[in-house]
């Protein structure tokens, strides 16, 4: 029994069939899939189980960590917050101008745009650290600022799976004096329901304990991620024993890590990615609509063979441009995948935003078959 619930708008029934088929093939534990066209919710499906013992059904209120699918949401929030202070020079400003300690070891000229497009050479720690350091965001950011980059900063990308979030979080705090997660809650999601006159989006970077009971259990993959041939960059980013914190506990959920620990529903993730499908607007909320702002956030900042991911990557300032056509046929689509299979994207040509979330993780970095089945189904209906 897969407990499938929700709806599809007329004409999108094949998406519900594909969603159910993922369960029929034994690929899922619990999952959600949602899509908007403009401001219209056209798909909102849930199914399966929120816990590994299959006692608690997955429903519309189930929160799940989406791992790196968090990054474009963090990038959107940072764009809004930084632009208020730095304006049209936001992405060309050297990081060291607002964070002087970052200039150490030859990083003085690295711009904010280069840092957010994974060109900083700080994919992880080359020397052993105490993994508990990941739970002190300012201290870990300080350690990154002191570190020598693994390649000349600004010379191509090497994906920063975790450190990206600590860097952007520290940057936003240095410029604005307020945390990125607070900007997200106060100005985009209204997730704490503090104001009744605004749309509430049930997504968190820094999930309060009051919401933890809604969080799904994660079923880890049985094999390591498919990284291709292991090089020094992949080893440091993913494989060293100190390369990540212990995930899943209350401390981890409550921490603000804009690269990897956002928690939400499929519906909330799709709603946030609607900014990428609607020129910086989420409903009536103009998140990034100052002249030139949305273009600066979403334009290509590097294209080439990535040092960490085994792909040719096209990065904007914190999100992936769809040069590999993973997120449908439009190369102008903007999106991101998360560890284990989640993904979100916005297609600006169709004003379409989509999100897939789940709690049974695969070892695929981008091309999880379950998500691909659903993406193929939705585009087949358009």
**pTM value > 0.85:** yes
pLDDT at 221: 87
Q: What is the mean pLDDT of residues 182-198?
A: 81
Q: What is the mean pLDDT of residues 111-133?
A: 97
Contact 82, 38 (CB under 8 A): no
Name the E strands within 40-117.
40-48, 64-65
Query: Domains plus CATH for the chain?
Result: 5-73+182-381 (3.40.710.10)
Q: What is the mean pLDDT of residues 118-144?
A: 97
Mean pLDDT of the chain: 96
Q: Taking 90 as the threshold, does the pLDDT of residue 224 lie above it?
A: no
pLDDT at 247: 86
> How far, in Å, CA of 334 to CA of 276, rounded?
6
3-state SS of the chain: helix, strand, coil percent to 5?
35, 15, 45
Question: What phi and psi values does residue 351 have, to the nearest 5 degrees?
Answer: 50, 35
Q: Taking 70 as the threshold, does the pLDDT of residue 195 lie above it?
A: no
The alpha carbon torsion through 360, 362, 367, 369 (nearest 10 deg) reads -60
pLDDT at 193: 66
pLDDT tens digits for range 52-69: 999 999 999 999 999 999
pLDDT at 194: 56
pLDDT tens digits for range 268-286: 999 999 999 999 999 999 9
> How far, in Å, CA of 311 to CA of 304, rounded?
8
Buried b (16+ CB within 10 A) or exposed e, 59-91: beebbbbbbbbbbbbbbbbbbbbbbeebeeebb
Q: Taking 80 as the threshold, does the pLDDT of residue 1 lie above it?
A: no
Q: Taking 90 as the threshold, does the pLDDT of residue 246 lie above it?
A: no
Weakest mean pLDDT among 86-95, 156-165, 189-198, 319-328: 189-198
pLDDT at 146: 98
> How far, in Å, CA of 131 to CA of 75, rounded?
25
Contact 319, 326 (CB under 8 A): no
Instruction: With cut-offs at 50, 70 and 90, classify the pLDDT of residue 233.
Output: very high
Question: What phi and psi values does residue 14 have, to the nearest 5 degrees?
Answer: -60, -25
Q: Taking 60 as the threshold, does the pLDDT of residue 379 lie above it?
A: yes
The alpha carbon torsion through 80, 319, 334, 338 (nearest 10 deg) reads -120
Q: Taking 90 as the threshold, does the pLDDT of residue 364 lie above it?
A: no
Q: Taking 90 as the threshold, does the pLDDT of residue 84 lie above it?
A: yes
């Amino acid at each position: 029994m897969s407990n499938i619930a929700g709806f599809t708008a007329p004409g999108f029934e094949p998406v519900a069939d594909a969603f159910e088929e993922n369960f029929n093939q034994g690929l899922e534990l619990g999952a959600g899939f949602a899509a908007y066209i403009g401001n219209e919710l056209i798909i909102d499906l849930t199914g399966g189980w929120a816990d590994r013992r299959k006692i608690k059904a997955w429903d519309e209120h189930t929160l799940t960590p989406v791992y790196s699918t968090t990054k474009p949401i963090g990038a959107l929030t940072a764009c809004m917050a930084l632009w208020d202070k730095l304006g049209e020079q936001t992405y060309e400003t050297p990081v060291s101008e607002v964070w002087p300690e970052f200039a150490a070891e030859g990083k003085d000229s690295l711009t904010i745009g280069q840092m957010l497009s994974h060109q900083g050479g700080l994919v992880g720690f080359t020397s052993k650290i105490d993994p508990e350091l990941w739970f002190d965001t300012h201290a870990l950011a300080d350690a990154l600022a002191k570190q020598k980059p693994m390649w000349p900063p600004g010379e191509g990308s090497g994906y920063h799976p975790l450190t990206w979030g600590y860097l952007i979080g520290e940057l936003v705090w240095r410029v604005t004096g307020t945390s990125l997660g607070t900007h997200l809650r106060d100005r985009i999601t209204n997730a704490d329901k503090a104001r009744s006159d605004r749309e509430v989006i049930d997504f968190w970077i820094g999930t309060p304990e009051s919401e933890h009971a809604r969080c799904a259990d994660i079923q880890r993959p049985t094999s390591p991620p498919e990284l291709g041939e292991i090089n020094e960059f992949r080893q440091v980013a993913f494989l060293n024993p100190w390369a990540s914190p212990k995930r899943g506990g209350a401390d981890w959920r409550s921490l603000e890590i804009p690269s990897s620990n956002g928690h939400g529903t499929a519906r909330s993730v799709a709603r946030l990615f609607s900014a990428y499908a609607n020129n910086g607007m989420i409903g009536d909320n103009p998140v990034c609509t100052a002249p030139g702002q949305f273009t600066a956030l979403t334009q290509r900042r590097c294209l080439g063979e990535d040092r960490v991911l085994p792909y040719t990557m096209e990065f904007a300032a914190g999100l992936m441009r769809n040069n590999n056509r993973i997120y449908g046929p439009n190369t102008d689509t903007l999106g991101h995948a998360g560890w284990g299979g989640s993904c979100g994207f916005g297609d600006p040509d169709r004003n379409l935003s989509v999100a897939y979330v789940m709690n049974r993780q695969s070892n695929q970095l981008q091309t999880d078959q379950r998500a691909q089945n659903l993406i193929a189904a939705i585009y087949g209906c358009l």
